[in-house]
Amino acid sequence: MTVTTSRPNSTSSSRRPGGTRPSGVRPVPARRVGYVVGAAVDGVLLYLTNVAPGWRAVPFLTDDFTRVLGLVNLSLLAGLVANLLYVMYDRRWFRDLGGVLTTGIGTAATVQLLRVFPFAFTDTSLDWERVARMLLVVGVVASAIGLAVQVAMLVAHLVAPEKRN
């Protein structure tokens, strides 16, 4: 594990000569804070969806939501677990593997939401059903692209591992 310090002239394996970080590389402590925040958000969403107030409190969700609830919960739980694991083991290949798994599960949940479409919109000022379907289609396409990118990154990091995180 690379430890970075706040001393201006300090160098480590994650820094270039002269003390600068490669573009896009955040220090490990900053990433870990992000992982904790991500896990907390997933935990709160799991609680709000399943305990209080529960998904039934959302006025535009129908009883058909129970047909997708399992995948939605699995997606949130996978994100929570992945982020907690990243706090303990923060290697690029491991994050890439977690990204493949969480993006795959999230894509499956979004596809299922599109198939079941457990929504009933009462406001007729806008065609909310069309808007929701379009957003879900965009979400599926974006998730599929993201999944392909995650798989490519995982393969690249397994074939040619870098010394940096």
Which residue ranges make up each domain of the chain?
A: 28-159
Looking at residue 2, what is its pLDDT? 39
Looking at residue 124, what is its pLDDT? 86
**132 vs 54, 56, 73, 104, 119, CA distance in Å?**
21, 18, 20, 21, 9
Distance between CA atoms of residues 108 and 64, nearest Å: 17
CB 101 within 8 A of CB 78: yes
Q: Which of 42, 34, 152, 31 is nearest to 105 (CA)?
A: 42
Distance between CA atoms of residues 165 and 163, nearest Å: 7
- Give me the numbers of helices (H) and strands (E) for the chain, helices first please: 4, 0
Taking the chain (165 residues) in runs of 10, the rounded mean pLDDT of each run is 39 48 73 96 98 96 98 98 97 95 98 98 93 98 97 93 64
